[in-house]
């Protein structure tokens, strides 16, 4: 097991359970991801697809993932900067969605922005009763690209619009009711509940679980996701409104 100072993504292959635990380990930033973090996350998912039968996504400390590191957003200046971030987001989120192995999100604490989208991209999710879910991007002049593509089909259009337009959080029970998570457990029961779900997946032969995952991923794909993300970011991420809001967030 080890982590990179640059990426703060910890990869732990638990060979006895054929499971790879991928932990976002930036608790001082509430596990927000910068460009290197998104790249390392995608690399960890790719590695898990080769070495394990199931991958688990988790966050260190008292948050799952606060989404993008706002300092990264505030620093966007050129079209090349926007494209780099858009590509990292695409590769990270759609990499989780389309990974050959089932991916389970273990959610304890806030899952905001890109963290919310990681939960949505995962195949299954277990959340504690202190988890919270929000899409606050519009409050800093940005928008949630993966959510715009996918979460309407998961939660329904009206619920997606409420999340995206207000930025208000919902609790774990509501997220379960809306179909974003599968199970809600007490804080101390998260590891056991995830292990139970992983064991149930491992009861089935690996070729069957991989085929089921691939079939669902094919039903979601349309091939235009990367360009939509890049186009959306180009319109909003370098605007003065977005920069000002991001700087105000950092200063606050």
Are the beta carbons of 75 and 35 closer than 8 angstroms?
Answer: no
Active-site residue 137, yes or no?
Answer: yes
**Contact status, residue 131 vs residue 110, Cβ threshold 8 Å:** yes
> Which position among 117, 177, 187, 225 bears the catalytic label?
117
Sheet containing 110-112, strands listed edge to edge, beginning at the edge strand earlier in sequence: 110-112, 132-134, 170-171
Distance CA 171, CA 197 (A): 21
Please indicate whether residue 225 is annotated as part of the active site.
no
Q: Give the active site residue among 16, 50, 137, 187.
A: 137
Q: For residue 233, give Cα distances in angstroms to 38, 86, 131.
A: 16, 7, 28
Query: What is the arrangement of strands in the sheet containing 103-107, beginning at the earlier edge strand?
Result: 2-3, 9-14, 19-24, 54-59, 103-107, 124-128, 183-185
Alpha-carbon span 57 to 116, nearest angstrom? 12
Active-site residues: which are they?
A: 117, 137
């Amino acid at each position: 097991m080890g982590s990179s100072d640059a990426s703060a993504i910890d990869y732990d292959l638990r060979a006895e359970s054929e499971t790879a635990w991928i932990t976002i380990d930036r608790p001082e930033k509430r596990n927000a991801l910068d460009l290197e973090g998104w790249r390392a996350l995608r690399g960890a998912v790719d590695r898990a697809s080769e070495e394990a039968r199931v991958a688990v996504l988790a966050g260190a400390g008292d948050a799952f993932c606060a989404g993008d590191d706002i300092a990264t957003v505030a620093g966007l200046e050129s079209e090349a900067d926007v494209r780099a971030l858009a590509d990292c987001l695409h590769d990270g989120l759609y990499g989780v969605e389309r990974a050959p192995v089932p991916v389970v999100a273990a959610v304890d604490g806030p899952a905001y922005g890109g963290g919310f989208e990681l939960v949505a991209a995962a195949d299954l999710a277990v959340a504690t009763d202190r988890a919270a879910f929000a899409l606050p991007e519009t409050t800093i002049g940005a928008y949630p690209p993966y959510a715009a593509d996918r979460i309407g089909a998961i939660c329904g259009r009206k619920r997606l619009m409420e999340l995206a337009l207000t930025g208000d959080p919902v609790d774990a029970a509501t997220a379960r009711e809306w179909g974003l998570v599968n199970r809600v457990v007490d804080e101390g029961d998260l590891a056991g509940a995830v292990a139970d779900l992983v064991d149930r997946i491992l009861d089935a032969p690996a070729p069957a679980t991989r085929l089921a995952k691939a079939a669902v991923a094919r039903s979601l794909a349309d091939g235009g996701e990367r360009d939509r993300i890049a186009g959306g970011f180009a319109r909003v991420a370098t605007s003065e409104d977005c920069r000002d809001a991001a700087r105000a967030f950092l200063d606050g």
